């Protein structure tokens, strides 16, 4: 049995876990937690089971029990495929990590890829691609771009909005399933898998591209899955040619802190933090726009769009 396996490997434990899930869905998290604990007595090394128990305990209002279950999850799965470290931070049992684990983000979007476009556009009133493309258009006029690099391209929602203005469009994403969905749309000239949380020197992808070849680099609605954004700015700087532009969006932290971890398990960043990162690389801020970027559980999510320019 591998640590990230969703089955315990014990049929009786799995059956009890299934009953626990049904109880939780019926609005009985305490009963679900009790039954899930019985399942874990038979399969104590089941990391996914401990993570599910943590969820039921938290919903039952038993914070310390949830924290204990999450710590067991991390002990059994130190790669943190479930994002247990994020949950521990939200429960006040640990500091918010500078970055979530890459394997957690990759799995999250691999699972989400098939329904991604429909969920965002039809259900969440998602508007970052259109608004970021419009900001670029207002600031840059009708400028055409020789080479655009879309970081965290996902299924290509921003790529669809910039394609007509790009001679060459290149996309990078951590999720292979997202890249597969983007490829079906036939809008990118090149798609590659890459981890934006790594510095270029540690990446087999960005590390080989030392030359500044893009006149526009975008990061549309991807940075909320990172806390510390220094590696992303290093990558953008390396990829941009002199005078090139970096277009990005973040969720608005509405604070002077660098970033905050929200209950959604996404990070929000402050305008001051983005401005400081731009200053470190001598980028000038050409445009800043505060706007609604989506809804979440029926509530509006506020964001900030930026267009920064690399020195000529």
Going by pLDDT thresholds of 50, 70 and 90, the confidence category of residue 122 is low
pLDDT digits (tens, 9 = 90+) for 139-149: 998 889 999 99
Lowest mean pLDDT among 112-126, 189-203, 280-294: 112-126
Rounded CA separation 152/26 (Å): 37
Report which DSSP code applies to 120: I
H-assigned helices in the chain: 11-25, 29-42, 47-59, 63-76, 84-90, 102-112, 116-118, 128-140, 157-162, 176-185, 230-239, 271-280
Residue scoring higher pLDDT (273 or 297): 273
What is the average per-residue pLDDT within 154-161? Answer: 94
Tokens of residue 52, six digits: 């599910």
- The answer, yes or no, to whether residue 160 has pLDDT greater than 90, is yes
Continuous H helices in 43-127: 47-59, 63-76, 84-90, 102-112, 116-118
* pLDDT score recorded for residue 208: 56
Q: Rounded to whole angstroms, how far apart are CA atoms 207 and 36?
A: 45
CATH (residue range 11-95) = 1.25.40.10
CATH 2.40.110.10 fits 112-309, yes or no: no
**Do 174 and 113 contact (CB within 8 A), yes or no?**
no
Output the pLDDT for position 212: 80
Residue 258, CB-side half-sphere exposure with 13 Å CA sphere: 12
pTM for this prediction: 0.90
Confidence label for 113 from pLDDT (cuts 50, 70 and 90) = confident
269: its two tokens: 């960043």
Structural domain spans, the chain = 11-95, 112-309
Q: What is the pLDDT of residue 3?
A: 36
Measure Cα distances from 19 to 36, 135, 253, 280 in Å.
8, 50, 39, 54
Is 84's pLDDT higher than 60? yes
Q: Using alpha carbons, list the distances in angstroms from residue 181 to 109, 187, 289.
A: 11, 11, 29
* Residue predicted with more confidence, 68 or 120: 68
Contact 202, 193 (CB under 8 A): no
The predicted structure's pLDDT at residue 209: 53
Is pLDDT at 40 greater than 70 in this prediction? Answer: yes
pLDDT confidence of residue 206: 60
């Amino acid at each position: 049995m591998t640590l990230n396996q969703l089955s315990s490997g014990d049929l009786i434990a799995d059956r009890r876990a299934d009953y626990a899930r049904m109880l939780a869905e019926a609005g009985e998290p305490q009963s679900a937690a009790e039954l899930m604990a019985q399942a874990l007595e038979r399969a104590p090394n089941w990391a996914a089971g401990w993570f599910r128990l943590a969820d039921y305990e938290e919903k039952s209002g038993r914070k310390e029990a949830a924290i204990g279950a999450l710590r067991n999850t991390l002990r059994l799965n130190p790669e943190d495929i479930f994002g247990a470290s994020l949950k521990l931070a939200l429960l006040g049992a640990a500091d918010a990590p500078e970055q979530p684990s890459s394997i957690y983000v990759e799995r999250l979007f691999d699972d989400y890829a098939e329904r991604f476009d429909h969920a965002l556009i039809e259900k969440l009133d998602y508007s970052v691609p259109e608004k970021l493309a419009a900001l670029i258009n207002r600031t840059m006029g009708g400028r055409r771009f020789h080479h655009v690099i879309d970081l965290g391209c996902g299924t290509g929602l921003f790529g669809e909005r910039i394609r007509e203005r790009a001679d060459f469009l290149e996309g990078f994403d951590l999720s292979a399933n997202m890249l597969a969905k983007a490829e079906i749309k036939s809008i990118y000239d090149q798609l590659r898998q890459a981890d934006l949380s790594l510095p270029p020197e540690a990446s087999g992808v960005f590390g080989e591209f030392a030359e500044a070849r893009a006149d526009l680099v975008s990061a549309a609605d991807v940075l909320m899955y990172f806390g510390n954004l220094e590696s992303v700015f290093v990558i953008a700087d390396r990829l941009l040619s002199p005078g090139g532009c970096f277009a990005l969006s973040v969720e608005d932290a509405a604070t002077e802190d660098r970033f905050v971890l929200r209950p959604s398990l996404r990070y929000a960043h402050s305008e001051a933090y983005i401005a400081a990162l731009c200053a470190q690389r001598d980028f000038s801020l050409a445009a800043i726009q505060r706007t609604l970027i989506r809804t979440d559980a029926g509530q509006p999510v506020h964001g900030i769009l930026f267009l920064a320019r690399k020195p000529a």
